[in-house]
Amino acid sequence: MHAELELGLERRIGKRSAAVIEKHLGITTVGGLLNYFPRRYLSRGELTPISEVPLDEEVTLIARVISNSTRAMRARRGSLTDVVISDDAGTAGSGRTGGGLPGTLKVSFFNGFRAKAELQPGRRAMFSGKVTRYGGSLGLTNPDFLLLDEDPETPGLDPEKLAAMPIPVYPATAKLTSWSIQKVISTLLDTLELEALGDPLPAEIAAREKFLPVADAYRLIHAPQTPADWQRARDRFRYQEALVLQSALARRRAQLAAEEATARRPAPNGLLPAFDRQLPFTLTAGQAAVGKTLSEELAQDSPMNRLLQGEVGSGKTIVALRAMLQVVDAGGQAALLAPTEVLAAQHYESIRRTLGPLSRDGMLGGFGPDAVQVTLLTGSMPTAARKQAMLDAASGTAGIVIGTHALLSETVSFYDLGLIVVDEQHRFGVEQRDALRAKASKPPHLLVMTATPIPRTVAMTVFGDLETSVLDELPAGRAPISTHVVGLAEHPAWAGRIWSRSREEIDAGHQVYVVCPKIGEDDDGDFTPGEAEPSAADLEGENGARELASVTGVVEHLRDEPALAGVPVAPLHGRQDPALKSETMASFTANQTKLLVSTTVIEVGVDVHNATLMVILDADRFGISQLHQLRGRVGRGGLPGTCLLVTTLEPGHPSRRRLDAVAATTDGFELSQEDLKLRREGDILGASQSGGRSTLKLLRVLEHEDVIARARKDAQRIVAADPTLAGRPLLAAAIDEYLNPEKEAFLERG
């Protein structure tokens, strides 16, 4: 990076301003402030529609003063100045201002002498503060304001031009207004020699895209004369952001590929061919194709780094197991990492079952001499069992080790770890992948699996350091799942029908899942830490006044439900003792428990073929992809599955649209697009993105697919030609800063 950008701010804007900026924005360097871009732009000639201003956030808006009155306060000394401001939408607008006129806002100032004098009717001003609602009307209390009509900075400018001039709006804080930030940045722009900065974008790309030179772009993003100015500047910086991100990923991919791994070649007389011979079904074409890719990559002496995306039920586990067997055949060990204990235990059981005589668990006989030992290792195992499992992993006795986060702990080591499989990736970030990789003496091969279909650009952004394979077909004979929204608001009688419907399934020999949003009557649910999915309450700012179904409450209720008399019902949730949890799962898998009432602990991966009905209570409390995952638990054994999305919300409630979307399609990809639209960007990237990366600034993964795709192509070309980016120091520096934004602050203090 250019040395100028790393310079301390006080050197360019003075100690006092620098101290203010550091205090309120945490920015200490020239580059930091230069890259603090406006969030949006107001048009000087237009008033901000008041009905669109968000509540309870720091906002900056332009309005016209309608009235101004001052009175003495009754209870204490001082005066109160009330100013009514408007967006000129007047009575025509359909603002949400209950009591007052549509499009008006009441602004109150305590001892507001300047407001009293300056905010005269007819004046236009910019206001900055938090809009709140009291009584029926919207208000602002003691906001900062700036009169617009007599702009001292632009004397003699023709009024039409002035009216068109955009005003940048910076992300402001309660103590530092957008226009104060603008002023400081304008000082900074005046003192810098922008032309000398140098451009992290390669010249040929800037020319191809007809981008503004970097100096002009900085000027125009902060001080545009016309809307076209900031748009051009923003296009450039957005692309730059995409290129920096994609180059970082491409470089990481190149670094990983350049590492040396142990080749794990297939063995003609090994466990894998024996396993394939005993497989009770034929692999789907997709499973066979992905299997071939994995087999070839495992046989290379550079590490495989692959993401396997597959719809719920597409049969990813078999694909992973076959890869693990190839590694075991070659003398290595394989680790399978699951996000929850329930899922780890389930994988352990089902993998041993699938392997049959090819597996041994170290206790029972009846296996061939070459059988592989499958070992479970979780944090909640009794100490003795865990110690034994750790010993087996370290000595190499265990060929396949299945576990949770416990596998990441420092005390766990392997004899010769050749392959790591991470199941249901969306809960494992880059750091965890690296922690696992560190457990092998040479870099192991890595297979990451995810059941949440990821839109292309998200995959490119979040998993851009991995190659991708997709399983897009379900095994033959998979029965369709029909999904229905059960609206109790309009059909209260259906509440009883849910349980008689459950009884019908059970009488036919099948089993039922009932999922609740809460564990007990008074808690917030069973959420895995780091879960990416926001709850419906997060999405809507609802505060949960409704009585929601809970596991304990429903189990209680079902005890007296005549339709289910005599049916073995069991609860399952994250707060239970692990031993009880696995006992319950085992009893359900063995078809002893007929109806399982649980939280979302069964969300991922649980595989009980005999279950045919999934009842989700207060389904509106769950996100789209969660619902899709949940219903993927039924319809697995060739028996048609049914999913009932039960809700007490009125038809037309925004949350019911999510349910309608889930009922309308079983295409996970379509649903994940839908889902992303409802989420905030940070939620998409936040959970999976780690390693100190800052969040995206100008890039939106859904909107800017073409920018991301173009930047990715460029990045691949650049990194292929120059893997360490030695010839592109400015780009390399921009990547470093992106990957480690704290670094500059650190350098500054150190």
Residues at the contact surface with ligand ADP, assessed by CB under 6 A? 281, 283-284, 287, 310, 312-318, 451, 475, 605, 607, 636
Pairwise CA distance, residues 671 & 628, whole Å: 8
Task: Indicate which of ligand ADP, Mg ion, none lies near residue 636 (CB less than 5 to 8 Å, by partner kind).
Answer: ligand ADP
Q: Which of 474, 467, 461, 473 is nearest to 448 (CA)?
A: 467
Question: Of 169 and 321, which has the nearer Cβ to Mg ion?
Answer: 321
**Tokens coding 270:** 């090994």
Nearer to ligand ADP, 10 or 473 (CB): 473
Q: Which does 514 bind (CB under 5 to 8 A by kind): ligand ADP, Mg ion, none?
A: none
- The amino acid present at 313, given as its one-letter code, is G
The full DSSP string for 568-595 is: -EEEE-TTS-HHHHHHHHHHHHTT-S-E
Least separation in angstroms between CB 531 and Mg ion: 17
Specify the residue, 143 or 291, whose C-beta has the smaller distance to ligand ADP. 291
Q: Are 184 and 16 in contact (CB under 8 A)?
A: no
Q: Which residue is nearest to ligand ADP (CB)?
A: 315
Residues in the chain, overall count: 750
Beta carbon nearer to Mg ion, 345 or 663:
345
Sequence-ordered alpha helix ranges (H) in 144-177: 159-164
Only segment of 116-124, 435-443, 597-605, 681-689 that touches Mg ion (CB under 5 A): 597-605
Q: Decide which of ligand ADP, Mg ion, none touches 655; Cβ closer than 5 to 8 Å per partner kind.
A: none
**Smaller CB separation from ligand ADP, 143 or 605:** 605
Contact 599, 632 (CB under 8 A): no
Question: Exposed/middle/buried for 273, CB within 10 Å: 0-12, 13-18, 19+?
Answer: middle
CA dihedral 424, 430, 433, 438 (to 10 degrees): 180
Segment interacting with Mg ion (CB under 5 A) among 80-88, 411-419, 487-495, 598-606 = 598-606
Closest Cα to residue 461, out of 708, 92, 718, 129? 708
Least Å distance, CB 347 to ligand ADP, is: 9
- Specify whether the CB–CB gap between 89 and 102 falls below 8 A: yes
Nearer Cβ to ligand ADP (284/305): 284
Residues 612-651 vs Mg ion: string with x where CB under 5 A?
----------------------------------------
For residue 342, the minimal CB distance to Mg ion (Å) is 12
| Tokens 């880059």 sit on residue | 430
**β-bridge partners, 596:** 513, 570
Could you give the C-alpha distances from 648 to 268, 434, 486, 512, 654, in angstroms and in order? 59, 45, 8, 21, 13
CB 175, min distance to ligand ADP, A: 51
Where does 507-665 show beta strands of DSSP type E?
511-515, 569-572, 595-598, 611-616, 641-647
| Total residues interacting with Mg ion, rule: CB under 5 A | 1
Positions 655 through 714 that interact with Mg ion (CB under 5 A): none
Q: Are 97 and 105 a contacting pair, CB within 8 Å?
A: yes
Considering the complex, what minimum distance in angstroms separates the CB of residue 722 from ligand ADP?
39
Instruction: Answer whether 53's CB lies under 8 Å from 133's CB.
Output: no
Is residue 475 part of the contact set for Mg ion (CB under 5 A)? no
C-alpha distances (whole Å) from 592 to each of 205, 498, 715 are 65, 21, 56
The reply on whether position 339 binds Mg ion by CB under 5 A is: no
CB of 449 to ligand ADP, least distance (A): 7
Closest residue to Mg ion, based on beta-carbon distance: 605
Return phi, psi of residue 169, to 5°. Answer: -115, 115
CB 339 within 8 A of CB 435: no
CA distance linking residue 742 with residue 683, whole number of Å: 21
**Least Cβ distance, residue 284 to Mg ion (angstroms):** 15
Using the minimum distance from each CB to ligand ADP, give the nearer residue, 123 or 636.
Answer: 636
CB-nearer residue toward ligand ADP: 34 or 402: 402
Q: Which is nearer to ligand ADP, 312 or 323 (CB)?
A: 312
User: 313 contacts which partner out of ligand ADP, Mg ion, none, CB within 5 to 8 A by kind?
Assistant: ligand ADP
318 interacts with, out of Mg ion, ligand ADP, none, CB within 5 to 8 A per kind: ligand ADP
**Residue 674: both structure tokens together:** 């839908």
Q: Report the partner that residue 746 touches, choosing among ligand ADP, Mg ion, none (CB closer than 5 to 8 A by kind).
A: none
Cα angle: 521, vertex 523, 526; to 5 degrees: 110
Please, what is the minimum distance in Å from the beta carbon of residue 10 to Mg ion? 55
Residue 464: CB minimum distance to ligand ADP, A: 23
Does the footprint of Mg ion cover residue 605 (CB under 5 A)? yes
Q: Which is nearer to ligand ADP, 418 or 475 (CB)?
A: 475
Amino acid at 348: Y
Residue found by looking up tokens 């929850």 in the block: 340
- Cβ at position 267, least distance to ligand ADP in Å: 23
Minimum gap (Å) between residue 230 Cβ and ligand ADP: 46
For 651, counting Cβ atoms within 10 Å of its Cβ (0-12 exposed, 13-18 middle, 19+ buried), the class is exposed
551/517 Cα distance (integer angstroms): 8
Please say which residue, 107 or 320, places its beta carbon nearer to Mg ion.
320
Could you give the string, one character per residue 256-295, with x where binding to Mg ion holds by CB under 5 A and - elsewhere?
----------------------------------------
CB of 638 to ligand ADP, least distance (A): 9
In whole angstroms, the minimum distance from the beta carbon of 471 to ligand ADP comes to 7
Q: Which is nearer to ligand ADP, 307 or 412 (CB)?
A: 307
CB of residue 310 to Mg ion, shortest distance in Å: 8
The token duo for 452 is: 């949440």
Compare residues 246 and 317 and give the one whose CB is closer to Mg ion.
Answer: 317
Selection from ligand ADP, Mg ion, none that 224 binds (CB < 5 to 8 A by kind) is: none
Rounded to whole angstroms, the Cα distance separating 224 from 230 reads: 6
Q: Which of residues 108 and 610 has its CB atom nearest to Mg ion in the complex?
A: 610
**Site residues (vs Mg ion, CB under 5 A):** 605
